[in-house]
């Protein structure tokens, strides 16, 4: 079959700061998915996009072409309105775990296709896989059944969903083009639009522990993603939220599941509870769902916990099983007394990753019990010798590099210095 274009024409057009036409974009995504455009050619195009950008029309068409490379999910058999949330990731960000059953308890249906962690940010599927028996991979029929029966499903995206994105994602990772906003936005939104949800809330993290540490860049990404969602007919909103301090008191797989269950039991750290409730209200509002109850009440009265237990059981997990615990642990104590002024989320995330909670390349195994417990947060007092962190791993040889990563992670002051933190919710962006 004769090809419509030559890849080199498209690469040179973007290299020279030109706009790509709709037919060029449609062809290059399709041809790359079919294997006609080689990895080295697509690498060159991705770098040209990183350096020269794309306008709104180009990003929208690129996203649409990625959606059309695969199937679109369809939830018309579900009697409730479907709503979803996507987070750009951070340290201790376990919000999806309590949020999906919480929204289900309040009357929504949450088809949450999640990913695995890479680098210092944890993956939702890795966390849930620390629950004995729980399965991440479901067929479309199984997904639909869990969603109908439980009101929420959290699982891996099937191979049929935006296959162009799978290929591009792997290539971006090895060509230093991950940071390009058009490519981040189209990657996230192609999967979320193909997922077929009627409303979507984006949790865009900023601060030292976030993928987008610069608040201006985070805002730009949020705006682009909201526009993409709205153009595709999905009611989309973005909240820009703080990731300068780890979220909650744990970073690691089973540790974060345990904390999520505490939240569902009506307890848990205040910041995790606040963000979970806030996102639940936004999801219900964006989906125009009349809540069966307020999300804060659903955490207190056990309704969210009931939905969690049903959802975990429906995917083969045992909600009563003992969660894995790492074989070894070591405690980091405060060297001086005073108030915690700063806690660098990125350093905590890297330390948890080095303990075995995350992976350095795709396909690598993670340790279910590895990670960090945080005993004090900024604004709290600590005495010299009191525990700051407990580090967990199955391999004691990992402690040295994990402790190295925590160097300078915490600043303690006894001079009455003011704690300066980003507000939990920095900005809201609507379509």
Active site residue 87: no
User: How far is Cα 154 from Cα 430, in angstroms, rounded to an integer?
Assistant: 25
Q: Mind listing the pLDDT tens digit for each residue in 54-110? A: 999 999 999 999 999 999 999 999 999 999 999 998 999 999 999 999 999 999 999
- Which residue in the list 86, 127, 237, 377 is annotated as catalytic? 86
- Structural domains in the chain, CATH included, are 83-158+190-321 (3.40.1030.10), 328-413 (3.90.1170.30)
Task: Give which of 239, 286, 227 is closest to 90, Cα–Cα.
Answer: 239
- Tell me what the pLDDT averaged over the chain comes to: 95
- The candidate with the shortest Cα–Cα distance to 184, out of 149, 223, 153, is 223
Tokens of 278: 């806030």
pLDDT reported for residue 41: 97
**Dihedral of alpha carbons 293, 241, 265, 147, sign:** positive
Marked catalytic residue, from 94, 127, 166, 191: 191
Pick the catalytic residue: 30, 64, 84, 165? Answer: 165
What sections of 155-269 are H helices per DSSP? 163-174, 181-194, 215-231, 253-264
Is the CB of residue 43 less than 8 Å from the CB of residue 157?
no
Give the active site residue among 187, 190, 198, 260.
Answer: 187
> 428 an active-site residue?
no
Task: Tell me, yes or no, if 191 is annotated catalytic.
Answer: yes
* Beta strands per DSSP E along 101-173: 110-114, 152-156
Give the whole-angstrom CA distance, residue 126 versus residue 117: 7
**Token couple for 365:** 């195994």
| Tens-binned pLDDT, residue by residue, of the chain (431 aa) | 678 899 999 999 999 999 999 999 999 999 999 999 999 999 999 999 999 999 999 999 999 999 999 999 999 999 999 999 999 989 999 999 999 999 999 999 999 998 877 667 778 999 999 999 999 999 999 999 999 999 999 999 888 899 999 899 889 988 989 889 999 999 999 999 999 999 999 999 999 999 889 999 999 999 999 999 999 999 999 999 999 999 999 999 999 999 999 999 999 999 999 999 999 999 999 999 999 999 999 999 999 999 999 999 999 999 999 999 999 999 999 999 999 999 999 999 999 999 999 877 767 789 999 999 999 999 999 999 999 999 999 999 999 999 999 999 999 999 989 999 999 999 999 98
What tens digit of pLDDT does each residue of 18-42 get? Answer: 999 999 999 999 999 999 999 999 9
What are 148's two structure tokens?
């109908």
172 is catalytic: yes
Q: Which of 127, 172, 237, 398 is catalytic?
A: 172
CB 46 within 8 A of CB 168: yes
């Amino acid at each position: 079959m004769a090809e419509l274009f030559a890849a080199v024409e498209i690469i040179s057009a973007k290299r020279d700061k030109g706009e790509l036409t709709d037919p060029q974009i449609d062809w290059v995504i399709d041809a790359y998915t079919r294997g006609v455009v080689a990895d080295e050619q697509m690498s060159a195009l991705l770098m040209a996009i990183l350096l020269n950008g794309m306008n709104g029309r180009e990003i929208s068409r690129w996203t649409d072409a990625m959606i059309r490379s695969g199937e679109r999910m369809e939830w018309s058999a579900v009697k409730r309105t479907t709503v979803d949330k996507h987070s750009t990731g951070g340290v201790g960000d376990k919000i999806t775990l309590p949020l999906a059953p919480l929204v289900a308890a309040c009357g929504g249906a949450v088809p949450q296709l999640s990913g695995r962690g890479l680098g210092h940010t944890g993956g939702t599927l890795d966390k849930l896989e620390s629950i004995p028996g729980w399965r991440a991979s479901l067929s479309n029929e199984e997904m639909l059944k869990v969603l109908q029966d439980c009101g929420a499903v959290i699982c891996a995206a099937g191979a049929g969903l935006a296959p162009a994105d799978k290929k591009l994602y792997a290539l971006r990772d090895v060509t230093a083009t991950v940071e390009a906003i058009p490519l981040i936005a189209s990657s996230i939104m192609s999967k979320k639009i193909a997922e077929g949800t009627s409303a979507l809330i984006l949790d865009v993290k900023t601060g030292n522990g976030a993928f987008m540490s610069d608040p201006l860049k985070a805002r730009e990404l949020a705006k682009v993603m909201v526009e993409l969602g709205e153009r595709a007919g999905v009611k989309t909103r973005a909240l820009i939220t703080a990731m300068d301090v780890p979220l909650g008191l744990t970073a690691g797989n089973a540790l974060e599941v345990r904390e999520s269950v505490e939240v569902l039991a009506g307890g848990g750290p205040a910041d995790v509870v606040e963000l979970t409730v806030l996102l639940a209200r936004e999801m219900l509002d964006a989906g125009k769902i009349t809540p069966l109850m307020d999300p804060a009440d659903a955490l207190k009265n056990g309704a969210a916990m009931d939905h969690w237990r049903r959802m975990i059981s429906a995917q083969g997990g045992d909600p009563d099983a003992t969660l894995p615990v790492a074989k070894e642990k070591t405690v980091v104590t405060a060297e001086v007394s005073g108030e915690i002024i700063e806690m660098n989320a990125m350093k905590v995330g890297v330390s948890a990753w080095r303990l075995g909670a995350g992976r350095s390349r795709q396909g690598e195994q993670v340790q279910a019990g590895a990670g960090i417990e945080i005993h004090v947060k900024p604004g709290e007092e600590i005495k010299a010798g009191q525990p700051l962190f407990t580090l967990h791993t199955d391999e004691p040889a990992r402690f040295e590099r994990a402790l190295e990563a925590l160097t300078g992670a915490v600043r303690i002051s006894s001079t009455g210095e003011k704690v300066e933190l980003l507000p939990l919710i920095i900005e809201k962006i609507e379509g």
